[in-house]
Structure formats: structure tokens, C-alpha cells
Chain A
Amino acid sequence: MDVSQMQRQLVDYTASLFREGFLDDQFTQLQQLQDESNPDFVIEVVSLFFEDSERLVNDLGRALNQPIVDFKKVDAHVHQLKGSSSSIGAERVKNSCIAFRNFCEEQNTEGCLRCLQQVKQEYFLVKNKLESLFRLEQQILAAGGSIPLVE
């Protein structure tokens, strides 16, 4: 595949992610923040997000599996996850967090566990997608091309 093909692929792929709601405008903001002084900005931020989210998801699992569930704590974790996912533009993860918080308010353990599953699912999905995206970008760059800006 030549560079222009890869670039086209990248553009299409990125557009689909937006279309399907995996990413939202905030992600574009991140892309726009990236510049020459910080060429790996997006990747760095997204990596941070991955790390942090995995930790949060684990903490959530632990907290919900306690004999007595501390919903405040659970809510705090979800809130944080919601914040970071919205900051990078992971829209579906963010939305699932919103639903999650409602169950926390109701102190519904079952509901929370279900939501946690949902969150995990969305998280892994977007993680895979983003990793593919970055891979594609790297390939283009390695081939000497440049990353087209996706609008």
C-alpha cells in the first residue's frame, strides 16, 4: 500500500470512528493541540488515558464486589472515568459512565455491575480502535508521508 492509500485509509477510518460515536469533537481538539513541539501529544495523552482507565476499571470491579458496596467511592471513580474519557473524546465510554452514575445514585449494585461491564466493553473497543489508528499513522509516517488532518 502506498502512502496516499494509507492516508486515505486513515482518513476514512478516523471519520468512521467519529461517525460511530467512538470519538467526538474533543478528540479533534487534541489533534489540534498537537504541534511540532509536541508531535506525540495525542498518543501520549491517550496512553495516559488507557493506563488511568484500566486502573479505574479495576478499582471499580473491586469496589463493587465488596460485601458492602461503598457507592460514594464507586461514584467517585466513575466520575473520574467520565472526566478523563470526555477529555480525550471517548464519547461512548463517557456515555456509559453517565448511565453508571445514575445507578450509583440509586445504590443499585446489580445495575452498577452491568454498567461496569458496559464501560469495560466500550473502553476496550475504543482502545482497539485508537491503537489501530495510531498504527496506521505510524505506518504513514514511516513511509515518509504526513498525517492528513481529519475534519
Chain B
Amino acid sequence: MNMDRSLSTASSTTTRKVGDGVSDQFPAGLRVLVVDDDPTCLKIIEKMLWNCLYEVTTCTRAEVALSMLRESRSAFDIVLSDVHMPDMNGFKLLEHIGLEMDLPVIMMSADDGKDVVMKGVTHGACDYLIKPVRIEAIKNIWQHVVRKRRNELKDFEQSGSVEDSDRPRITTDDADYASSVNEGSWKSSKRRKDEDDEGEERDDTSTLKKPRVVWSVELHQQFVAAVNLLGIDKAVPKKILELMNVPGLSRENVASHLQKYRLYLRRLSGVNTPFMGPEEANFRSMSSLDGLDLQAFAVSGQLPHQSIATLQAGLARTTTTTGISMPDQRNIFDSEISKLRFGYGQQLCNSGKQVSILPGLPTSMEPKQLPHLPHLPQSVQSFGGVGFQVSEGTSAFLNTSTSLRTTLSNHMHGLHGNHGSPLMMQMAQTRSRAPSLNETAGGHASRIPSTIGQQIFSNEISGQVLERSKTILNGKSAGCNPVSQASSVVDFSMNHMTELAGNGIPLASGTEIFTLTSTGMLQEGGNMGLQGSRGFAPRYDMFNELRQPKTHDWELQNVGLNFDTSQSLNSIVQSNTNHTPSVLGNQGFASRKKIGQNMNMYVVGNAVISSGEANGHGITENSAQRPNNPLVENSFGVKFEAIPDLICERLLIADHLGQDDLMTALLKQQQGVGLVESEYNFDGYTMDNIPV
């Protein structure tokens, strides 16, 4: 009251809370999540942020923070995290966030040792603050948000910058595209991408709004297949473009995607232990991403053997080909990969360290699965690739079966949950990030995308895989099931999937499966399993998009892919939350807007999902609409079950991330039949059914 103390910066103004993100008074209203186990520091930083007119949410535990983020990825713009925390290493959290949500993360610590700061850099932190933190440092954190968004946009839009050699061969179109990154690309991509959803403008703030080419799972698979055919060293955008033969796809699009992919690969192989050779790495990446990565992880040693075995068993069961045997995981993947020519898969496995097996992400599984995907071998592959990036991240996630659960859930959340296309976003992000991040975060960037991808895959795949590997997953995912709760999003609901099986797909254990999908969402439904619908919402989009080719009755076709099923599933699943499925459809991924442009991938998903809406699910837009998401997820989950392929595919596709497994799973599914065969599950990975 009578404190004459100088007022802090606060300017009394107005809107302290903006509510949905960037407000006009940006940076005021920036939504910050602070994680620190030290209550003193937390309070101080909270006050500082408050004084800067930011919207603050505090958290003393990393797990809680992660679940909050998963639940609603778009609820925050930036995260501040302490490095040393009792329940989870700050860097781990950083990785998770990067992969799953691709939000900018600033690390803080009283520790200013060079190696710790370096760790922050390599893990992808966009800044590192030394405690005690001063308000001046806090005031400027908004720059990271803007920078990230711009980079995403730029990365995404950028054409062929990586492929210098191709530059001269740019066609007029390309030239057009290349001339002005934003404008040109927008136009050209718009023109060219009839196949993808162009319109996803992620930019929600000051960034440019450019339609991005959405690298759907399918597209990515095709991309990866083409790259593999040509050989990663010889793959040039022009040739890839030719091989892919996708109307509307420009060389620039391919070039930038390739750049990201390469970065991703590099990261994967760099991160991974020498465990896999370049080829393997490729494969690995695929596998890792696929959610089946679990296997990968297992292989990489990340996953506990038993879990892996279980997974494998499960997978093996379901996926005839997958054969994710642990010991041979790599091999399997490799072989799978070779089949698929995915480069991604294995990476995850290899990246031992990365192998944080996403709880749901059967990374390892994926690679295998992919081959099976008849339908989308390519797309799957692409995911794999994409997944790679993700894989990296995922590996981290996949670490343990339990983590599987969580990871998956996390991922799933990321993927499904909040934003429907977390994966996508991530992927998108990663992609854009990859180039930029690679430099810095090295693996991190890739991780992030992969995480997302993985997650998505994981989730989805998890679901699928889970189903298949019910045994495996169940064992492992024991976590998964449990995960259903907040973290289990990843659970891929394998368990749930089975439930979802309503369609006929025998859902494995519980409905946890979906947990993966929308971590956030799943939780909502409480049914971890089917929750998927929620979480899947975003996913659905992906899948929907992906699925298009497949169009199973489920729905994938409509985007509502998931949704449709979800509808049915919903009833089955508990996902009660039939939030408007539509949400997912379009927006699910779109929600990722936050994520920015990258999310195109997801966007696709979203778009797809929106179709879902038709179902009535109205998948909410991924983002935060949790409530909606649940539907999506549910539908997703349901879908999974019913449409194992679809889902898987979608997932895979969506995930680009490399969820090779997903793809495979999806593919399998497609082939399969339906879920019934697949045990339901997430066979995404085990794509037995994948009609490869």
C-alpha cells in the first residue's frame, strides 16, 4: 500500500491476459509455462513474467508440465524450465517438448558450466538463462517465439535452398516459387499442391501466412521411397520429384523437404551410436518413427528387453513381417527398411540415446510395418523419414515401456491431442527446424519432429501395434494402459484399440490404445484406450488425408477418417467425448498452427479430420480443444480398431515423422482388413495387414 517502491516494469495496462495466445499487444499475453521445482525461484520468475504482462502458468513438476502441454499443446507459446529437477531431467523434458509439441523452450539453471549450457544447445533449447534470472532476461523471451515461428515458416516455405545443385534446373514454376520465399512459395505451392492441403497457414502471429505443402504421411512415404530408390546420396529433388510423380508438387517443396530429411538423417545417425550404419540409420529412422520404434528402441537398447520382446511378440504376432525381434530389431528394420527403403526407421533404434521409446511409439515396429503397407509404402516411408526426425526425439521417448506409455501418450498427445497434428507439427516443425536446429540442437531438432511424428505414430501405431502386440504392449505398455491417463496418451490405446475394435478389431487390452493419440485427449476420455478419439483428432486428420487413397470405409476417406469410426468407436469406446470430431479434421492439425507452418503435415491430418466431422465427431481442432479432441481421438481409436490400416496409415502418414511403423501398420491395416485381423491395434506397426 504505501510502498513507494518503483513499480516494476509493469505498465499497468491492460490486458495481461490474452487468452488465446498472441494478442494484439504481443508480446503481452504471451503464454508461458514455467517449470521449476524450486518454489522460491518459481515465484520470482512468475512475478517477473507477470510484470512483463505475460500469462504465466507455473508447475513444479516436469510430469505435470508435460501432461499439461500434451493436453493442450496450443495453450502455451513458450516454456521455461529448470535444468535440475527431481522427477525428470530438464533436458529430457526439453526433448519431449521439442518432439511432441515443438514449442520453444528456455532452460534455466544456477549451473553455468559450459557443458551444461552446451547440453542445452544440443538438446534444442532456444536459450539458456543463468540463475538468478533477472527481469531483463525475462522481458525478451518473446523473441524466441517469434523467431521460431518465422523459422518454421521459412523452412517450410523455402524451396530448394538446400539443393543448390538443383537450382539451376529450376523450372519456371520453381523459379517463381523460389523468388520470394513467402509469396512465391505460397503461390506456387498453392498451385502445385493440390494434393496436399495447402491451406494450412500456421502462422498465427506475426509470421507470414503461407500455405504450406503438407507432407502427408503418404506423400512422405513416397518421398522416402523415392529417396531410397535413388540412394540417399544421389537423391536430388528433381529426380525425387519425378519418381514421386505427384501432381502439384514442386521441386522446391521436395528440395526443402529433402533438406530436412537429410538433417534428420544426419541427426539420427549422429545421435545414434554406431549401431547402425548409414543404411541402417535410415532404416532406423524409419522404424523409430513408426512408433514401432519401440522395437527400435528396444533394439537400441532403450527399451527394456522384455518390453521389446513383448512388443516384438506382439508385433510379430500381428505383423507377419515385422518380426521385430528384438535382437534383430535392427535387422528387422533394416530388412524392412530395405524393403521399404525407408531410411528412417532405424534411426531411432540406433540412436540409442534417443531411443526414448516413446511410450507409444513403436518405433522399432514401424520400420517393419512399413514394408507391409502396401498402400503407402512410400508414404510410410516418408514418414519414416520424417519420422526420423521424430525418431530421434522419439527414441528418447521410447525409452522404456513405461515411457512408452508415456511417451506415446506424450507424443500422442502431442500428436493427437492438442493439436491434432502434433506430430505433424512437429514434423513440420522439425522439418523446418531440422535445418535450423540441426545446427544447434543437432539431434534435438530432429528429435522434435520425430517425436512428434513418433508420437503420432507411436500413438497410433501404438494403438495398432498395441493391438497387435497386445501381448507386447500389454506387457510393456502396461504403461500404456495406465498411461491412458494423462500420459498414456501414448498408450496408443493399444489396449483401447482393441476396444475400438468395435469395428471388429480386437482391441487389445483396454482401450488404452488411444491414449496415445491424444494424450490430452485420451485423458479426457479417461479411456485411455479409445480416447484416442480425442487425441486422434489430429491424427485423424493425418490419417484421413493419408487414408484417402485407401479410403476405407471407415472414413478415413473423409478425413473424418477417424472420426467416422470414432463415431462408432465412440460409442464403443468410451471416449465419450464426442467432441466434434470435425475439430480434428481440419483443424486438428491446423491447430497446430501454433506450431506453425510446419505442421502442414498435420494440417493435412486436420483437414482430413475435418471430414471426420462429418461423422459428427467434429474433431476438435487439435489444439487444445481437448474436448473436441477426445472425440477425435476416440474416433481415432475407434478407427484404429476398425480401421487399423486406416489409422495406421493415417498415423503414419500424418506422422511423416517417420513412423514407418505406423505406415506399415496402416498399410497393413489396409490390407488387412480391417482391424479384425490386426488384432487391432495399432498395428500400425505390425502392419500385418498392410497391404504392401
Contact = CB atoms under 8 A, between A and B. Distances in A.
Question: Is the pairing of A and B real?
Answer: yes
Interface of A: 26, 29-39, 41, 44-45, 48-49, 51-52, 76, 79-80, 82-84, 86-89, 141, 145-149
Given A48-B40, A83-B41, A34 B84 contact: no
B37 interface: yes
B2 A146 contact: yes
B4 A146 contact: yes
Nearest to A41: B47
Given A32-B8, A79-B84, A147-B4, 17 more contacts: A26-B134, A33-B135, A34-B3, A35-B7, A45-B44, A45-B47, A52-B38, A80-B38, A82-B110, A86-B131, A87-B132, A88-B44, A141-B2, A146-B2, A147-B3, A148-B4, A149-B6
A84 B86 CA distance: 15
A35 B40 contact: no
Contacts of A88: 40, 44, 132
Contacts of A31: 5
A141 B5 CA distance: 13
Given A29-B134, A147-B3, A84 B84 contact: no
Contact of A83 (B2, B51, B110): B110
A79 B43 contact: no
Nearest to A31: B5
B64 interface: no
Contacts of A141: 1-2
Contact of B5 (A32, A76, A80, A89): A32
Contact of B51 (A33, A79, A82, A146): A33
A49 to B, nearest CB: 5
Contacts of B38: 52, 80, 83-84, 87
Interface string B1-26: 11111111010000000000000000
B109 interface: yes
B30 to A, nearest CB: 18
A36 B1 contact: yes
Interface string B98-141: 00000000000111000000000000000000011111000000
A49 B8 CA distance: 21
A149 B39 CA distance: 26
Contact of A39 (B3, B39, B41): B3
Central interface residue in A26, A30, A35, by most chain B CB within 10 Å: A35
Contacts of B44: 30, 33, 45, 87-88
B48 interface: yes
7 contacts: A29-B135, A51-B39, A52-B38, A83-B82, A83-B131, A87-B44, A147-B5
Contact of A35 (B5, B84, B86, B132): B5
Contacts of A52: 38-40
A30 B44 CA distance: 8
Given A76-B84, A79-B111, A86-B110, A48 B4 contact: no
Nearest to B42: A48
Contacts of B47: 33, 38, 41, 45
Contacts of B82: 83
A132 B374 CA distance: 76
Contacts of B111: 79
B131 A87 contact: yes
Contacts of A82: 110
B2 A33 contact: no
Contacts of A30: 44
Nearest to B16: A37
A26 B1 CA distance: 22
Nearest to A151: B6
A30 B132 CA distance: 11
B106 to A, nearest CB: 16
A77 to B, nearest CB: 10
B-side interface size class: 20 to 34
B91 to A, nearest CB: 15
A39 B47 CA distance: 12
A140 B132 CA distance: 30
Contacts of A44: 43
A84 B2 CA distance: 28
Nearest to A97: B110
A86 B41 CA distance: 9
A76 B8 CA distance: 33
B7 A36 contact: yes
Contact of B110 (A34, A51, A79, A146): A79
A87 B84 contact: no
Contacts of B7: 35-36
Central interface residue in B6, B44, B111, B131, by most chain A CB within 10 Å: B44
Central interface residue in B5, B38, B109, B111, by most chain A CB within 10 Å: B5
A98 to B, nearest CB: 10
Contacts of A39: 1, 3
- Report the 8 A-B pairs with minimum CB-CB distance, sorted nearest first: A146-B2, A83-B110, A84-B40, A86-B132, A49-B40, A87-B132, A26-B132, A35-B7
A146 B40 CA distance: 26
B110 A35 contact: no
B2 A89 contact: no
A17 B41 CA distance: 21
Nearest to A37: B10
A34 B5 CA distance: 7
Contact of A147 (B2, B110, B133): B2
A76 B110 CA distance: 12
A36 B48 CA distance: 14
Contact of B132 (A36, A51, A89, A146): A89
B2 A35 contact: no
Contacts of A79: 84, 110-111
Contacts of B39: 48, 51-52
Contacts of A41: 47
Contacts of B109: 83
A38 B8 CA distance: 11
A44 B1 CA distance: 15
Contact of A149 (B4, B8, B37, B40): B4
A63 to B, nearest CB: 14
A88 B48 CA distance: 13
A113 to B, nearest CB: 22
A35 B8 contact: yes
B428 to A, nearest CB: 36
A147 B135 CA distance: 22
A139 B40 CA distance: 25
A35 B131 contact: no
A31 B47 CA distance: 11
A9 B86 CA distance: 42
Nearest to B39: A48
Nearest to B7: A35
A71 to B, nearest CB: 15
Contacts of A29: 132, 134-135
A22 B37 CA distance: 25
A31 B5 CA distance: 7
A52 B135 CA distance: 23
A17 to B, nearest CB: 16
A148 B4 CA distance: 6
Contacts of A89: 132
A140 to B, nearest CB: 9
A149 B5 contact: yes
A38 to B, nearest CB: 7
